[in-house]
């Protein structure tokens, strides 16, 4: 067995590796993955005894690696380096034979000639035996060195093979053959540690994957456990599609790929690019990336979503008078429409009828079975009617041009009512309104010492309704995440994103209905019902409801997940709350509930089973 025990390596007080621990059994092939500079080659050099760890140790076959003599180690362990330079005109056979140097004075039961024959044959270099190494391609040279390394331990059935990027210069055939050789040897007792950049090869041939990031071990497990969308993006910064081949049951990874515009990074090409109108740039980018939402395209183009829409005024966009209450009271007459609310990290959509319009103070409510909204209409400053690629919609924005809510016509909508609404509220002056360029200041947290914790705990425990929580924040001057951090015992516990995912999958499997709250500064949309499908598309977690509603969550943007318990007159109410790095809430999950009815026992049970 090979044991790596808490090793660290630093240069000039900078850690290249920090507290790495793992072990490898006989008969196991382990792939080490990570981006450039993650520490893979440094780790390999420590395993090769080329570098000494600053802290920790490596134990091989119950003996400290440093206690082996060079000859002892050479008979038990062989290393294929990332770069193997030969400057003299040795023949291929002479290079491979160098792997047998340590065996010359040993009494071995296998002849060097047989070892040469077998290793050169399996590595596909037998026909190159008399050729000078200086005449070979990079891939051919790498195969020769692989044969040399194999020859060194060919007669040791429990050897350790250390392979540092062994396939980097090989073509597809020999990439697979090289790793197939290593995998086959592990089945007979060898141990193999292999540094790779191609994660599909690691998924196909390795028994385990260790993923490094920033000099630390982040994940260690079977390929299907480690190679997830989220882990790959965290380590490499690349969005991918990960699925299991139903025929082979192997994990397969497809990168989403990058598309760049040369005009962005080459100033010689930028002049003509910048002369295009905003509308032309928007259409060009949208056609290239049809799946990107409006706010993302606007961010890339350096404008607001409203400014993109203003580019269509006089063509496919009509500016309406900002009489929001009057417009909203007419929405029910449109019939079956699609409601869309989103923030930068989450998007919710639901098809239904906008029923039961009402107002409570500054809040406008729609309390229908399908469309359930809380609207802060004082934030709604701009209303547009938009026709885009055959879709007709009403779109609402705040004074800064940020999108708040969208209403799309469907096949069940009354289009004439929509046209009449546009005719009634169309603004005479169709020029683009001026936007305010105010930046929303992040609320600064008070020092914890300034908070009366005891009084805060008492107020939390005395809540009679979940809606009192907002008043609690104002009363004590707390941000949401600070309140959760300072909550009474067992009232707020931070949990992992993986446990959240397990909970949601479990709700889908056993048909526990949930409520999903997606909010921005001007609107809260509540999608309630049973989930029928939960799947990932790159960083996005897609939650599909039996009713046809959809909620899409960008998991890469989730900074923390909290299990929160608030008291009410109907008993405790449990929620899962997801927050971004700035402390703003992304989305909130409850079990389906209504006032006057206790929380679902099935929701409580799912939380207990998956969060503990």
Domain closes at, from 222, 249, 264: 222
pLDDT, position 587: 96
How far apart are the C-alpha atoms of 3 and 585, rounded to whole Å? 43
- Mean pLDDT of all residues in 121-135: 88
Task: Give a yes or no: residue 441 inside a domain.
Answer: no
Query: Is 336 in contact with 547 (CB distance < 8 Å)?
Result: no
More confident residue, 540 or 537: 540
Task: Give a yes or no: residue 582 inside a domain.
Answer: yes
The residues, any chain, with a CB within 8 Å of residue 601's CB and separated by 6 or more, are none
Q: Using alpha carbons, select from 131, 125, 171 the residue that is nearest to residue 148.
A: 125
Domain closes at, from 199, 222, 245: 222
- DSSP states of 565-581: EE--TTS-EEEEEEE-T
pLDDT, position 442: 67
More confident residue, 578 or 583: 578
Q: Give Cα 530 to chain centroid, integer Å.
A: 25
Range of the domain at 311: 291-425
Do 145 and 22 belong together in one domain? yes
Task: Give a yes or no: residue 326 inside a domain.
Answer: yes
Instruction: List the structure tokens of 171.
Output: 């073509």
Q: Tens digits of per-residue pLDDT, 297-315? A: 888 888 999 999 999 998 9
Runs of H (alpha helix) within 533-596: none
pLDDT, position 105: 53
How far apart are the C-alpha atoms of 471 and 480, rounded to whole Å? 11
Do 458 and 420 belong together in one domain? no
pTM reported for the whole predicted model: 0.63
Strand pairing category for 2-11 and 14-24 = antiparallel
Alpha-carbon dihedral sign for residues 327, 331, 337, 339: positive
Task: Give a yes or no: residue 262 inside a domain.
Answer: no
Task: Give a yes or no: residue 275 inside a domain.
Answer: no
Query: Which residue has tokens 């109108």?
Result: 277
Task: Give a yes or no: residue 128 inside a domain.
Answer: yes
The residues, any chain, with a CB within 8 Å of residue 36's CB and separated by 6 or more, are none
> Is residue 207 very low, low, confident or very high in pLDDT (cuts 50, 70, 90)?
very high
How far apart are the C-alpha atoms of 443 and 209, rounded to whole Å? 42
Q: Domain holding 204: CATH number?
A: 3.40.50.300
How far apart are the C-alpha atoms of 323 and 389, rounded to whole Å? 27
Do 499 and 544 belong together in one domain? yes
Instruction: List the structure tokens of 586.
Output: 């992304």
Do 380 and 476 belong together in one domain? no
- Mean pLDDT of all residues in 127-134: 88
Do 467 and 508 belong together in one domain? yes
pLDDT, position 247: 85
Do 381 and 454 belong together in one domain? no
Query: Is 222 in contact with 210 (CB distance < 8 Å)?
Result: no
Do 377 and 488 belong together in one domain? no
Q: Tens digits of per-residue pLDDT, 246-257? A: 888 888 998 887
What's the chain's average pLDDT?
A: 89
Domain closes at, from 222, 237, 257: 222
**The total number of structural domains that make up the chain:** 3
Work out the number of other CB atoms within 10 angstroms of the CB of residue 298.
23
Task: Give a yes or no: residue 254 inside a domain.
Answer: no
HSE, side-chain direction, 13 A CA sphere, residue 186 = 24
Task: Give a yes or no: residue 234 inside a domain.
Answer: no
Q: Using alpha carbons, select from 230, 243, 298, 231 the residue that is nearest to residue 555.
A: 230
Do 462 and 377 belong together in one domain? no
Q: Domain holding 366: CATH number?
A: 3.40.1570.10
- Mean pLDDT of all residues in 217-237: 88
Query: Which residue has tokens 């046209």?
Result: 419
How far apart are the C-alpha atoms of 116 and 99, rounded to whole Å? 9
Do 207 and 304 belong together in one domain? no
Please name the helix (run of DSSP H) or strand (run of DSSP E) that holds residue 258, with its range, or none.
none
pLDDT at 456 over 60: yes
Please name the helix (run of DSSP H) or strand (run of DSSP E) that holds residue 552, with its range, or none.
strand 550-554
> Assign residue 593 a region: left if phi > 0, alpha if psi is -120 to 50, beta otherwise?
beta
Do 411 and 488 belong together in one domain? no
Q: Tens digits of per-residue pLDDT, 83-117? A: 777 778 888 888 888 888 776 555 555 688 888 88
How far apart are the C-alpha atoms of 15 and 43, rounded to whole Å? 12
pLDDT at 74 over 60: yes
Q: Tens digits of per-residue pLDDT, 30-63? A: 999 999 988 999 999 999 898 999 999 999 988 8
Do 462 and 341 belong together in one domain? no
pLDDT at 564 over 70: yes
Runs of H (alpha helix) within 187-321: 199-205, 223-226, 229-236, 262-265, 267-274, 278-288, 294-301, 305-310
Q: Tens digits of per-residue pLDDT, 1-17? A: 899 998 999 888 888 99
Do 536 and 596 belong together in one domain? yes
Taking CA atoms, 45 is separated from 142, 210, 414, 452, in Å, by 18, 16, 70, 54
The residues, any chain, with a CB within 8 Å of residue 490's CB and separated by 6 or more, are 565
């Amino acid at each position: 067995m090979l044991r790596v025990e808490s090793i660290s390596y630093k240069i000039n007080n900078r850690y290249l590796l920090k507290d790495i621990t793992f072990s490898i059994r006989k008969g196991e092939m382990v792939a080490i993955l990570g981006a450039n500079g993650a520490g893979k080659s440094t780790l390999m050099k420590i395993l090769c005894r080329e570098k000494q760890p600053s802290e920790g140790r490596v134990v091989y076959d119950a003996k400290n690696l440093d206690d082996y003599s060079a000859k002892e180690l050479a008979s038990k362990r062989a290393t294929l380096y990332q770069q193997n330079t030969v400057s003299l005109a040795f023949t291929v056979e002479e290079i491979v034979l160098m792997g047998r140097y340590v065996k010359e004075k040993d009494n071995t039961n296998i002849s060097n000639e047989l070892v040469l024959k077998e290793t050169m044959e399996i590595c596909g270099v037998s026909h190159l035996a008399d050729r000078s190494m200086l005449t070979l391609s990079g891939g051919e040279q790498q195969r020769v060195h692989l044969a040399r390394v194999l020859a060194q331990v060919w007669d040791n059935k429990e050897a350790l093979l250390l392979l540092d990027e062994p396939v980097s210069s090989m073509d597809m055939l020999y990439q697979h053959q090289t790793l197939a050789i290593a995998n086959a040897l592990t089945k007979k007792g060898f141990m193999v540690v292999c540094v790779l950049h191609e994660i599909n090869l690691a998924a196909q041939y390795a028994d385990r994957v260790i993923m490094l990031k920033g000099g630390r071990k982040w994940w260690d497990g079977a390929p299907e456990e480690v190679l997830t969308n989220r882990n790959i993006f965290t380590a490499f910064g690349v969005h991918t599609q990960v699925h299991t081949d139903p025929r082979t049951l192997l994990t397969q990874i497809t990168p989403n790929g990058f598309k760049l515009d040369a005009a962005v990074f080459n100033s010689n090409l930028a002049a003509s690019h910048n002369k295009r109108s905003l509308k032309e740039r928007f259409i060009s980018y949208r056609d290239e990336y049809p799946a990107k939402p409006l706010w993302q395209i606007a961010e890339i183009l350096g404008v607001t979503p409203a400014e993109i829409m203003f580019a269509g005024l006089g063509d496919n966009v009509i500016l309406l008078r900002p009489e929001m209450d009057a417009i909203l009271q007419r929405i029910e007459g449109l019939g079956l429409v699609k409601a869309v609310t989103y923030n930068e990290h989450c998007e919710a959509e639901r098809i239904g009828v906008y029923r039961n319009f009402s107002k409570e103070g500054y809040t406008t409510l729609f309390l229908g079975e399908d469309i359930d909204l809380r609207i802060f209409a004082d934030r709604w400053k701009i209303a547009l009617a938009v026709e885009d690629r055959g879709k007709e919609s009403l779109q609402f924005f705040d004074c800064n041009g940020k999108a708040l809510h969208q209403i799309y016509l469907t096949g069940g909508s009354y289009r004439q009512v929509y046209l009449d609404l546009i005719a009634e509220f169309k603004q005479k002056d169709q020029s683009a309104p001026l936007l305010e360029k105010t930046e929303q200041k992040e609320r600064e947290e008070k020092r914890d010492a300034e908070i009366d914790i005891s009084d805060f705990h008492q107020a939390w425990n005395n809540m009679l309704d979940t809606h009192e929580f907002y008043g609690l924040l104002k009363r004590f001057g707390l941000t949401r995440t600070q309140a959760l951090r300072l909550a009474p015992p067992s009232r707020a516990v931070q949990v992992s994103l993986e446990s959240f995912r397990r909970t949601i999958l479990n709700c889908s499997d056993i048909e526990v209905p949930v409520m999903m709250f997606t909010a921005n500064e001007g609107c809260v949309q509540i999608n309630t019902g049973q989930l029928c499908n939960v799947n990932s598309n790159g960083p996005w977690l897609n939650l599909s409801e039996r009713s046809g509603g959809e909620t899409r969550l960008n998991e890469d943007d989730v900074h923390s997940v909290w299990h929160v318990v608030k008291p009410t007159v109907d008993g405790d109410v449990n929620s899962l709350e997801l927050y971004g790095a700035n402390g703003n809430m992304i989305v909130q999950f409850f079990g389906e509930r209504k006032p006057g009815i206790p929380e679902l026992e099935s929701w409580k049970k799912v939380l207990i089973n998956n969060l503990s």
